[in-house]
Structure formats: C-alpha cells, structure tokens
C-alpha cells in the first residue's frame, strides 16, 4: 500500500497555475505595423520559439509535480509480518581488554587475535537468534552499554563489528559488566535474564568486584553463561631450544566456573572457533519467555524516485538553450551547404 507521510504538501501542486491566474500579466504595448520583406521566415522563427516555450513549460511542470511528490515522502508498506511471540533476553558482554590482542586463535587455518575470533563466531550466533532480544555490553576498565535489548540483530552485529581493543581501556572489569547487565534486565518485567560473558582474563578493574556482582545476579535471577577465550599451552622454538608457555595464564577459570554454577548457567572454554560455537546448542534449548505478539510491516522509502526525476528534468531544462543553439547551428550549416551545392551545380 502506498502512503504519503506528509500528504498535505500535495495540495500545493496547482499553486503556480493559481498564481498565474491571480497575478495580472504586463500589458503588451501596441506596436506599429512594420513592413518586413521576409515575413515567412519570421513566422517560422516565431513558431520555433513557441514550440520551445511549450516544451520548457511541459518539462518545468513535470519537474514541479515530481519535486512536490518527493517532498510528500511516499512510502510503500508491504503486508504485515508476524514475529515470534516467544523469545529470550540475551545480554552479550564482550571483553575489550588489551590481552584480547593475543594472536593464538585460528580461523580457517589463519592465525588471528582473540577479538576477531569472537566477532567471527558471534556474527553467525547473532543471526540465529530469531525472536530473541539481544543487548551488547563492552567492558575493559569499566563496562558500557553499546546496544540495549532489541530485536534488531543487525544493529547489534554492527556495533560488535565496530568494537576495537582499547576502546574502553586496557584492564578487565568483569564485575562492572555483570552489574550493568543486571541493571538492564531489571528494567524488563518479563525476562529470562541470560548473560553471555566472554573474557580472557580476571577481574582487575571496575567499581564492583566479582563477589558483589554475583550477589546481584543471584538476587535478580540472572543466569550467567561464561566463555573463557584463549588457547592452551603452546611450544615456541627459541635460540635456547623449545620453550613452553601458556597464553591463557591470566584466565581466571575458577571464578568464571563459580559464577556460572551459582547462577545456574554453564562455563565454556573457547580454545578455537569450534568450541566457541558449542554455546549454540545450549542456548537453543533455554526456556523462552512468552511475550505479546508483534507485527511488523516492511516499508520502503520511495521519495528518491520522484526526486531523481525532478533533478533530471531540471538539468534538462538548464541545458535546453544550449541544445536549441546547437540545433540552430546545425540547421544553418545544412542550409548553407545546400545553397553552396545549388550554386555549384548551376
């Protein structure tokens, strides 16, 4: 169905013709008769100018109608589409501390840093959350709400893709991230309150420690699913021979496991993209909440179509004198060539 957002603007379409009728035109002064030997040629020029004026008037009329139509902002609404009335409220909390720069993850055989691996896997994870409300929290020195709970999965994906390491500091404020998630959940009456926490370290900053955040989560019935990001112990060849090191030595798995057990969630260890994807199966079987049915109507803005027509017609009107001049020159050239040929033949 076609609708105009500002439909009253359409009433000004006949305004130029109304003004032309109201405003009196200048009286043409009477001119004395003048004998002109080439009267036929004058008539031809007059007819050409009249046709040119009518053409310009026609183009200007179309341009005016198209411009007014674009100003009225036409929108095409499709058929109503029902969205699922059941869903989950999932808050994603992603660690942006400096340690997420560690390049110990693999994606399709290529070595990448931990944040890029999280973005790679979570992109598909967010796509699969049809009917769920998603929110995004980014944390480092403190926690920030990047996207509130919303059905718009594309905006959550975009905010996650645009996140960079060091955006909110270098440390790890796990307690602040949990506290902020609890605060956002309490603003929703019907919610199963699930927090998915992704981190590669331990709580080293923030205004709330992990113990206080845990009590808040338990009091407000928030379930925490924690994901520890980072590879296992690796062997590195050096000048003094093979050397073993653990890139995930700062990961506080004990605290993360305690958070999940106390809130009824589960802890995952993501050493690679495949292990991180395991959370899909578990979240798909969570008990969804019953919500009010919502319907959406696809909409498409159409104003750029008449606007493009108006711009094209005005451009054509602007160059019409040039086109008319070139046309006259071409006719004169053809006429001169014709006369020259006749004289040559004679």
Structural domains for the chain: 1-23+37-79+297-319 (no CATH), 83-295 (3.40.50.410)
Q: Looking at the predicted structure, is the pLDDT value of residue 2 above 90?
A: no
| pLDDT above 90 for 218 | yes
Is the pLDDT at 86 greater than 80, yes or no?
no
d(CA 253, CA 201): 9
- CA gap 131, 125 in Å, rounded: 13
Q: Quick check: helix, strand or coil at residue 23?
A: coil
The dihedral built from the CA positions of residue 291, 297, 303 and 304, taken in this order, carries a sign that is positive
pLDDT of the residue at 182: 92
Which residue reads 């035109």 in tokens? 25
Check residue 29 and give its pLDDT.
Answer: 46
Rounded CA-CA distance 216/210 in Å is: 10
Mean pLDDT of 158-169: 88
Average pLDDT, stretch 97-112? 81
Average pLDDT for 243-258: 74
- What pLDDT is recorded for position 36? 46
Q: Average of pLDDT values for 83-97? A: 78
H/E element holding 7?
Answer: none
Is the backbone of residue 221 left (phi > 0), alpha (psi -120 to 50) or beta?
left
Instruction: Supply the pLDDT for residue 335.
Output: 64
Q: What is the structure's pLDDT at 340? A: 57
- Percentage of the chain modeled with pLDDT above 90: 22
pLDDT at site 4 = 87
pLDDT of 186 reads 85
Residues 290 and 58 sit within 8 Å (Cβ to Cβ):
no
User: What would the pLDDT profile of 273-322 be if each residue is shown by its tens digit?
Assistant: 777 777 776 766 665 555 555 666 778 888 889 899 989 988 888 887 77
- Cβ neighbour number for residue 51 with a 10 Å cutoff: 10
Least confident of 90-94, 130-134, 166-170, 287-291: 287-291
61 pLDDT exceeds 80? Answer: yes
pTM for the full model?
0.58
Question: Could you tell me if 217 and 195 are in contact, meaning their C-beta atoms sit under 8 angstroms apart?
Answer: yes
Query: pLDDT tens across 6-15, in order?
Result: 888 989 988 8
Closest CA to 309 of 62, 11, 50, 83: 62
Q: How far apart are alpha carbons 145 and 186 in whole angstroms?
A: 14
Task: Extract the tokens encoding 101.
Answer: 């720069």
Distance separating alpha carbons of residues 145 and 143, to the nearest angstrom = 7
SS3 label, residue 91: strand
The residues, any chain, with a CB within 8 Å of residue 321's CB and separated by 6 or more, are: none
Is the pLDDT reported for residue 94 higher than 70? yes
Radius of gyration of the chain (CA): 36
Please state the three-class secondary structure of 264-317 as a single string.
Answer: CCCEEEECCHHHHCCHHHHHHCCCCEECCCEEECCEEECCHHHHHHHHHHHHHH
Q: What is the 3-state secondary structure (H, E, C) of 188-199?
A: CCCCCCEEEEEE
Instruction: Round to the nearest angstrom and report the end-to-end CA distance of the chain.
Output: 71
pLDDT greater than 80 at residue 337: no
Whether the pLDDT of residue 265 is over 50: the answer is yes
Average pLDDT of the chain to the nearest whole number: 79
pLDDT at 229 > cutoff 70: yes
């Amino acid at each position: 169905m076609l609708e105009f957002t500002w439909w009253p603007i359409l009433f000004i379409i006949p305004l130029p013709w109304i003004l032309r009728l109201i405003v009196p035109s200048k009286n043409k002064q009477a001119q004395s008769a003048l004998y002109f030997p080439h009267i036929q040629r004058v008539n031809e020029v007059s007819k050409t100018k009249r046709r040119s004026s009518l053409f310009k008037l026609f183009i200007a009329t179309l341009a005016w109608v198209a411009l007014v139509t674009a100003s009225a902002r036409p929108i095409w609404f499709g058929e109503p589409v029902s969205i699922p009335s059941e869903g989950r409220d999932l808050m994603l909390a992603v660690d942006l501390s400096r340690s997420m720069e560690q390049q110990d993850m693999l994606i399709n055989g290529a070595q990448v840093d931990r944040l890029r691996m999280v973005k790679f896997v979570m992109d598909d994870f967010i796509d699969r959350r049809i009917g769920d409300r998603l929110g995004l929290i980014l944390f480092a020195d403190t926690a920030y709400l990047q996207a509130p709970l919303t059905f718009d999965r594309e905006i959550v994906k975009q905010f996650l893709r645009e996140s960079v390491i060091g955006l909110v500091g270098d440390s790890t404020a796990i307690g602040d991230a949990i506290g902020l998630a609890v605060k956002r959940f309490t603003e929703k009456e019907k919610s199963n309150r699930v927090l998915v926490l992704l981190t590669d370290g331990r709580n080293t900053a923030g205004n709330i420690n992990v113990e206080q955040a845990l009590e808040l989560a338990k009091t407000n019935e928030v379930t925490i699913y924690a994901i520890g990001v980072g590879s296992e112990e690796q062997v590195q060849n050096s000048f003094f021979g093979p050397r073993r090191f653990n890139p995930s030595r700062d990961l506080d798995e004990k605290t993360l496991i305690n958070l999940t057990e106390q809130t009824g969630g589960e802890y995952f260890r993501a050493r690679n993209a495949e292990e991180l994807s395991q959370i899909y199966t578990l979240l798909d079987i969570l008990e969804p909440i019953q919500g009010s049915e919502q319907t959406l109507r696809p909409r498409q803005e159409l104003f750029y179509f008449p606007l493009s027509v108006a711009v094209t017609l005005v451009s054509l009107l602007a160059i019409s004198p040039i086109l008319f001049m070139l046309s006259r020159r071409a006719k004169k050239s053809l006429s001169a060539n014709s006369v020259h040929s006749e004289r040559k033949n004679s």
